[in-house]
A and B are shown apart, each in its own frame.
Chain A
Amino acid sequence: MNHVPLTNLDYVEFYARKLKQNPEIFIQQKKLIESQMKSSKEIFRKKFGKNFKENARKYLRKIGLIE
């Protein structure tokens, strides 16, 4: 099928179709995940400092992830 993707779901399906035919595309996904995890680690270590857990729990309460 060679139609132009129009919606977000069209893009997801288009990408899945291409990926199914070509495992090399997994390399791009790996780069995205590594980048996201590295950034998250650096941001929160900087933000919460030495009292990581205490400061993290305050933040997690604020955003509603814990009571």
Chain B
Amino acid sequence: MENKSYYIDEDIIVINRELNSLDIFVRDFLDILKKYSEYLIVSGYVSISTGRTRGTEDVDCLSIIMDKKKFEKFFDELKRENFWCYQGETINEIWKYVEAKNSLRFARTDEIFPNMEFIFVDSSRQAKFFELTHPQKIRIADFEFLIPPIEFEILYKEIILGSEKDFADAGHLREFFSDMIKKEKFDEYEKIIRGNLG
């Protein structure tokens, strides 16, 4: 498998490269988050982790809304492990964002970028909830994490997000994964995504 840029190993997409500092930032954050909640890495980092060469400032992470007690433990552990939250220092400062389902951003201590944009999802956000509950495993070296199905990610970028950058990210995924993406999956996911628009 050494001459291939990716291959499939028991339903896991394996990317044939070394970890970089951005991957390690994401891995360290997810090592904490996984103890508290389901999650899904979406958007730009999906393209970048599979080889798209562009800069990024944030990594988007979907998560199920936690109760306050659990979220406080998660927040305290992040602080202990040298992450800081843009929006505040204490649970009481940031809980209003969680309740309103507004995203929070976390970066390493004494750094701003990259940051993890932490987006809360429940079943009222139909498309996001679907992808969160239908994850695809991906592995880079020893770092395994969850992303949306590739066809879903492509369509979400093309139909919902729609900027030039999103079309380029989708174009990268379409070309890089051309050997594995399936037309019937596009048909299935397009209905879900367009249904969410109405």
Contacts and interface: CB of A to CB of B under 8 A. Distances in A.
Interface of A: 8-9, 12-13, 15-17, 19-23, 25-26, 28-30, 32-34, 36-37, 40-41, 44-45, 52-53, 56-57, 59-60, 65-66
B53 interface: yes
Contacts of A65: 86, 105
Given A13-B171, A34-B21, A37-B22, A25 B51 contact: yes
Contact of B171 (A9, A19, A33): A9
B67 interface: no
A60 to B, nearest CB: 6
Interface string B70-98: 00000000000000101101000000000
B99 to A, nearest CB: 15
Contacts of B22: 33, 37
Interface centre among B84, B167, B168, B179 (most CB of A within 10 A): B168
B11 interface: no
Contacts of B21: 33-34, 37
Nearest to B104: A66
Main secondary structure of the interface of A (DSSP, over half): helix
Contact of B168 (A9, A32, A40): A9
A42 to B, nearest CB: 10
Interface of B: 2-6, 16-18, 20-22, 48, 51-53, 55, 84, 86-87, 89, 105, 110-114, 164, 167-168, 171-172, 174-176, 178-179
Given A13-B172, A16-B175, A23-B4, A30 B18 contact: yes
Contacts of B2: 23
B112 A12 contact: no
A23 B167 contact: no
Contacts of A56: 86, 112
A37 to B, nearest CB: 5
Nearest to A56: B112
Contacts of A26: 5, 16-18, 51
Contacts of B112: 40, 44, 56, 59-60
Contacts of B176: 16, 19-20
A44 B113 contact: yes
Contacts of A12: 52, 168, 171-172, 175
A6 B3 CA distance: 29
